[in-house]
Amino acid sequence: MQNLFGDSVFDEMILNQALNNRNIQFIEEFTRESVYKAIYLMERIETLDDEEDIPMEKREPITITINSYGGTVYDCLAWVSIIERLIERGYDIKTHIQGVGMSCGFVIPLCGTHRTMNRYSTVMCHQISTGGYGTIQDLKEGQEESERLWKVFKQIIIKNTKITDEQLENMRTRKFDWYMDAETAFELGVIDEIV
pTM: 0.86
147-177: pLDDT as tens digits: 889 999 999 999 999 999 999 988 887 777 9
What is residue 74's predicted lDDT score, i.e. its pLDDT?
A: 93
Check if the beta carbon of residue 94 is closer than 8 Å to that of residue 114: yes
53-64: pLDDT as tens digits: 999 999 999 999
14-38: pLDDT as tens digits: 787 778 889 999 999 999 999 999 9
